[in-house]
C-alpha cells in the first residue's frame, strides 16, 4: 500500500513494476519512498498515469543519486578489509543473483594484478560474508547456507557504479 495508495486512482503500477520496486529497494521504506518519489515526478512530467517495469528501471540512476548519502552511510558500515569482498560480490551478484565464497574467491583471484599477489582464501571470504551479514549488508539465501545476496539491490548497483567510475549502465540490472 505504501506504493499504490498515495497515488490511486491517478497513477497505477504494472504488477511487474511493483515486483521490481520491492526487489530493488529490498522493501526498505526509505529507499522505496525515494523510488516512488522519482517515479511519480517522472510520470507527472510525462503526463503518464501508468508505471511499467521499464520505467522503474529507467528511474534507478536518479534514485541512486537521491540515495547517495544513505548509501555512503551503508558503505561506511563495512570496514576497509570488507570492501574488496563487497566490490567482488557486487560484480558476481548481477541482477540480484546469489553468490558463494567460492565464486567471489574466483573473481578476486582473476582480478589479481600480479601472479604472486595475495588473495583472500575461500574461508576468509566466508568469514567476511558473516561479518557483512551481521552488518545487514548481505544476507544468506537460507540460514546456514553459503549462498548470500545483497539485502538491498540499490546498494549493489551503487557499488558497481562507484567501482567502475561511470554513470550507472542498465546492463547491471540484467533483464526485467
* pLDDT tens digits, 33-51: 999 999 999 999 999 999 9
Domain that holds residue 149: 75-169
Of the candidates 162, 146, 136, 3, the residue with the CA atom closest to the CA atom of residue 67: 162
Contacts of 174 (CB under 8 A, 6+ apart): 94, 95, 96
Query: pTM, whole model, 2 decimals?
Result: 0.84
Q: Report the pLDDT averaged over residues 132-152.
A: 92
Phi-psi region of 95 (alpha: psi -120 to 50; beta: other; left: phi over 0): left
Q: Is residue 164 part of a domain?
A: yes
Q: Identify whether the C-beta of residue 43 lies closer than 8 Å to the C-beta of residue 11.
A: yes
Q: How many Cβ atoms sit within 10 Å of the Cβ of residue 48?
A: 14
pLDDT for position 140? 95
If residue 33 lies in a helix (H) or strand (E), which one and from where to where?
helix 29-46
Residues 30 and 84 in one domain: no
When pLDDT is averaged across residues 14-28 and rounded to a whole number, the result is 93
106 pLDDT more than 50: yes
**Residue 17 domain flag:** yes
Residue 98 falls inside a structural domain: yes
- 30 in any annotated domain: yes
- Would you place residue 176 in the very low, low, confident or very high pLDDT band (cuts 50, 70, 90)? very low
Q: Looking at the 3D structure of the chain, how many domains does it have?
A: 2
Taking only the tens place, the pLDDT of each residue in 149-175 is 999 999 999 999 987 543 433 444 444
Question: Residue 79 pLDDT more than 80?
Answer: yes
Amino acid at each position: 500500500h505504501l506504493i499504490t495508495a498515495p497515488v490511486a486512482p491517478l497513477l497505477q503500477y504494472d504488477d511487474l513494476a511493483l515486483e521490481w520496486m520491492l526487489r530493488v529497494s529490498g522493501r526498505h521504506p526509505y529507499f522505496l519512498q525515494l523510488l516512488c518519489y522519482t517515479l511519480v515526478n517522472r510520470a507527472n512530467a510525462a503526463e503518464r498515469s501508468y508505471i511499467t517495469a521499464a520505467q522503474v528501471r529507467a528511474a534507478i540512476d536518479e534514485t541512486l543519486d537521491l540515495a547517495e548519502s544513505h548509501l555512503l552511510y551503508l558503505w561506511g558500515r563495512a570496514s576497509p578489509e570488507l570492501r574488496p569482498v563487497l566490490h567482488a560480490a557486487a560484480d558476481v551478484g548481477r541482477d540480484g543473483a546469489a553468490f558463494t565464497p567460492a565464486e567471489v574467491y574466483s573473481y578476486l583471484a582473476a582480478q589479481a594484478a600480479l601472479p604472486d599477489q595475495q588473495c583472500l582464501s575461500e574461508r576468509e571470504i566466508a568469514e567476511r560474508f558473516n561479518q557483512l551479514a551481521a552488518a545487514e549488508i548481505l544476507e544468506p539465501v537460507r540460514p546456514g547456507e553459503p549462498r548470500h545476496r545483497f539485502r538491498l539491490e540499490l546498494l549493489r548497483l551503487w557499488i558497481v557504479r562507484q567501482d567502475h567510475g561511470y554513470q550507472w549502465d542498465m546492463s547491471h540490472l540484467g533483464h526485467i
